[in-house]
Amino acid sequence: MFDQDVLDHVNAEHFDPAYHEQQNNLRGQAQGRGTTYFITLAESLDCVLRHYRRGGMIARFTDDKYLWADLEQTRAWREWQLLKLMIEKQLPVPSPVAAHVHHKGLYYTADIITQQIPAAQSLSMLLSSGDMTDALWRQLGKTIRRFHQQGIYHADLNAHNILIDDSEQFYLIDFDKGYLRKPSSAWQQSNLDRLQRSLQKLKDQNSNGFHFSLHHWGALLQAYSSGS
């Protein structure tokens, strides 16, 4: 599937990094759970190509295969639909460009291509290189609140999955396993706790080079709670 307003066609090779390298459309890559590739489509559209990979203990047995049920239950389909919904709700997320599911026997593999957020870096990168003002921490709190109010659950809310661009706009990315659910203080607090653990872990690993403190977290929570 693909956005026909952006591309006039798509096929399996569009999801192959080697193809983009041959076409001189591969601009770079980044390591996370797997490798994220930065590519250019349609001559000038900067995009991100991501192959779905397992995490946790199960990754020891199968790196990228998922049990097949039907197309609408695949990771790629569900993330595509969730991104479309969030864009309709005017939430700051990348636009989906194309998705690919390869079904074979009992299993499938999948990929997704999204538009790249221009001139953006992850929250983890920003805090590794310098401090962030209280005003920006409050803005981040308000941004997360917007998602939670709409019932958007990000299953892996951490400092690597939050971007900030050069106009100081925050975005959430990588909604693999994310879904829409009824707003509830229980899961919303758990989501915030996950982000705090992520930030504290990076702080512990880089005690002198990662700019995060309880004061910063307090600014985020204050804006999250009040909405202002």
Domains and CATH numbers, the chain: 12-115 (3.30.200), 120-226 (1.10.510.10)
Note whether 1 and 7 are within 8 A (CB): no
Q: Is 166 an active-site residue? A: no
Cα–Cα distance for residue pair 228/226, rounded to 1 Å: 5
Dihedral-angle region of residue 169 (phi above 0 means left; psi in -120 to 50 means alpha; beta otherwise): beta
Cα–Cα distance for residue pair 87/91, rounded to 1 Å: 6
Q: What is the pLDDT of residue 175?
A: 95
- pLDDT tens column, 63-105: 889 999 999 999 999 999 999 999 999 999 999 999 999 999 9
Note whether 122 and 159 are within 8 A (CB): yes
Q: What is the pLDDT of residue 54?
A: 82
Q: What is the pLDDT of residue 184?
A: 95
Q: How many CB atoms lie within 10 A of CB 172?
A: 21
Which of 3, 46, 134, 156 is an active site residue? 156
Instruction: Single out the residue of 166, 168, 113 nearest to residue 138, CA to CA.
Output: 168
Cα–Cα distance for residue pair 71/78, rounded to 1 Å: 9
Task: Say which residues have a Cβ less than 8 Å from residue 101's Cβ, sequence separation at least 6.
Answer: 71, 74, 76, 77, 108, 109, 110
Q: What is the pLDDT of residue 56?
A: 65
Q: What is the pLDDT of residue 44?
A: 87
Q: What is the pLDDT of residue 33?
A: 67
Cα–Cα distance for residue pair 71/27, rounded to 1 Å: 31
Q: What is the pLDDT of residue 132?
A: 95
**Both structure tokens of 83:** 């991104």
Could you write out the DSSP letters of every residue in 161-198?
Answer: SEEEETT--EEE---TT-EE----HHHHHHHHHHHHHH
Residues in the chain where the model's pLDDT stays below 50: none
The CA-to-CA distance between both ends of the chain, in Å, stands at 39
CA 163 vs. chain centroid, Å, equals 9
